[in-house]
């Protein structure tokens, strides 16, 4: 559009087309919440549709407290060279646009264009306005930096008086100079783009915060699950191993088509695995660490850890899948387990999976009252107990994992 010869009428056509492009672009911008993708789309539009040889955009990144080249696009050899990617506040172009007195020199232009610079350097009054010779040196530095960046025009974008971004434009395809109406258009585009990018950055920041808090929660669950190991000296690493086995079994059950578990299920199973023995916090160390067989009474106390576990995590309002895993991981397929003697499909699937994982680790670990089995013995034991102690489809997945050598 830019390369039309300019008659009065045709300038109008250009403006209208510009406006159309701008409106279309603005519309799509708001719903794109990935800053990088957004910048890519804007730069692509400028280069493809508006007849510029190449373009780039530097954007303020709060975490680096610097302006960073978001993306650059154009003919090879013409686009902004790799390596020029970070501009701190002392960088000439940035300094020029953030310093009130200097940027005032280009307010009417909405931009700074190579040809303006020499004119500015020798313009009457520049020295007076900016109070010294520094501006001439700065303008020389800006000129040099623009040459290095293959840039013909720099268009700043502000939001609430803060420099958010600078659009760096290469030459026009038709070789003509930028007209004022074109610079005005690019200023409007840069401003819209900067706001959309700021929106996307805030969005991304918030997403990261939500994720960070989620991970902090999950790590706290891990610490909570590990507290029991400080009491029960024979279970070092038990909680994490059981969780690992349980997740592996669940993935195998999904892979072999037994269940359609979603991502949320796996996270819940992780939490249930980490907390399955948390109720043991309420069981005396004398019972947990007893070197002989437990008496009937002591065993009854030990069994309470399943329901105590659910009580302990009550304030967390955890999903039912998690509570089920904690409460019912000692139920058995034939209904001889505790605390509720549930049978077969009555036992929630999270509990049935943790049950196999828990027994595998318990059997292969030395305990106060017996030595651990070998892995092969434990696998055989679990296989033999399919449909008795364990749910058959869980055992099936477990055996498949053993055959693959994963467990």
Indicate the residue among 287 and 402 with the shorter CB distance to a second copy: 287
Residue 146 CA to residue 130 CA, distance in Å, equals 22
Instruction: Work out which of 24, 216, 380, 388 binds a second copy, going by CB under 8 A.
Output: 216
Within 10 angstroms of residue 282's Cβ, the number of other Cβ atoms is 14
Q: Are 397 and 253 in contact (CB under 8 A)?
A: yes
Total interface residues for a second copy by CB under 8 A? 45
Instruction: Work out which of 3, 13, 20, 30 binds a second copy, going by CB under 8 A.
Output: 30
Residue 278 CA to residue 300 CA, distance in Å, equals 17
Kindly identify the residues of this chain, within the stretch 112-171, that bind a second copy according to CB under 8 A: 159
Kindly identify the residues of this chain, within the stretch 255-314, that bind a second copy according to CB under 8 A: 278, 281-282, 284-286, 312-313
Establish if 14 lies at the interface with a second copy (CB under 8 A): no
Indicate the residue among 138 and 283 with the shorter CB distance to a second copy: 283
Nearest to 360 by CA among 325, 321, 401, 328: 401
Q: Which stretch binds a second copy (CB under 8 A): 29-37, 259-267, 293-301, 391-399?
A: 29-37
H or E, element range at 35? helix 35-49
Establish if 198 lies at the interface with a second copy (CB under 8 A): yes
Indicate the residue among 203 and 266 with the shorter CB distance to a second copy: 203
Tell the smallest beta-carbon distance from residue 191 to a second copy (Å).
7
Strand ranges, E, within 312-355: none
Phi, psi of 108 (to 5 degrees): -70, -25
H or E, element range at 386? none
Rounded to an integer, what is the distance from CA 407 to the centroid of its chain?
Answer: 30
Indicate the residue among 119 and 219 with the shorter CB distance to a second copy: 219
Establish if 33 lies at the interface with a second copy (CB under 8 A): yes
Residue 254 CA to residue 390 CA, distance in Å, equals 18
**Assigned token pair, 55:** 């373009």
What is the binding site for a second copy (CB under 8 A)?
A: 19, 26-27, 29-31, 33, 159, 191-192, 195-196, 198-199, 202-203, 206-207, 209-210, 213-214, 216-217, 219-224, 226-227, 230-231, 278, 281-282, 284-286, 312-313, 315-317
């Amino acid at each position: 559009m830019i390369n039309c010869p300019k008659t009065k009428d045709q300038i109008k056509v250009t403006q209208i087309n510009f406006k159309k492009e701008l409106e279309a672009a603005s519309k799509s911008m708001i719903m794109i919440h990935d800053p990088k993708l957004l910048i890519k789309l804007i730069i692509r539009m400028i280069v493809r549709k508006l007849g510029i040889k190449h373009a780039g955009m530097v954007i303020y990144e709060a975490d680096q407290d610097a302006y960073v080249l978001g993306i650059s696009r154009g003919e090879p050899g013409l686009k902004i060279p790799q390596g020029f990617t970070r501009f701190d506040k002392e960088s000439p172009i940035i300094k020029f646009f953030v310093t009130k007195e200097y940027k005032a020199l280009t307010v009417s232009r909405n931009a700074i264009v190579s040809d303006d610079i020499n004119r500015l350097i020798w313009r009457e009054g520049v020295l007076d306005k900016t109070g010294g010779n520094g501006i001439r040196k700065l303008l020389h530095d800006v000129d040099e930096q623009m040459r290095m960046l293959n840039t013909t025009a720099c268009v700043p974008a502000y939001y609430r008086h803060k420099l958010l971004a600078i659009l760096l434009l290469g030459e026009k395809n038709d070789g003509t100079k930028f007209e004022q109406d074109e610079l005005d258009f690019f200023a409007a585009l840069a401003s819209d783009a900067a706001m959309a990018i700021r929106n996307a950055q805030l969005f991304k920041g918030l997403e990261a915060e939500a994720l960070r808090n989620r991970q902090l929660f999950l790590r706290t669950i891990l610490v909570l699950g590990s507290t029991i190991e400080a009491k029960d000296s024979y279970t070092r690493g038990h909680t994490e191993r059981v969780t690992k086995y349980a997740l592996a079994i669940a993935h195998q059950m999904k892979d072999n088509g037994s269940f359609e578990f979603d991502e949320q299920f796996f996270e819940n199973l992780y939490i249930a695995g980490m907390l399955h023995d948390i109720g043991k916090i309420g069981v005396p160390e004398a019972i947990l660490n007893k070197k002989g067989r437990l008496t009937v009474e002591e065993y009854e106390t030990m069994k309470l850890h399943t329901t105590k576990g659910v009580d302990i995590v009550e304030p967390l309002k955890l999903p039912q899948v998690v509570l089920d895993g904690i409460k019912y991981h000692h139920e058995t397929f034939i209904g001889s387990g505790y605390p509720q003697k549930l049978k077969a499909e009555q036992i929630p699937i999270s509990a049935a999976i943790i049950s196999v994982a828990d027994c595998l680790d318990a059997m292969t670990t030395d305990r106060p009252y017996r030595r651990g089995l070998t892995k092969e013995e434990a696998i055989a034991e679990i296989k033999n107990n399919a449909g008795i102690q364990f749910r058959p489809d869980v055992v099936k997945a477990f055996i498949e994992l053993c055959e693959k050598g994963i467990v």
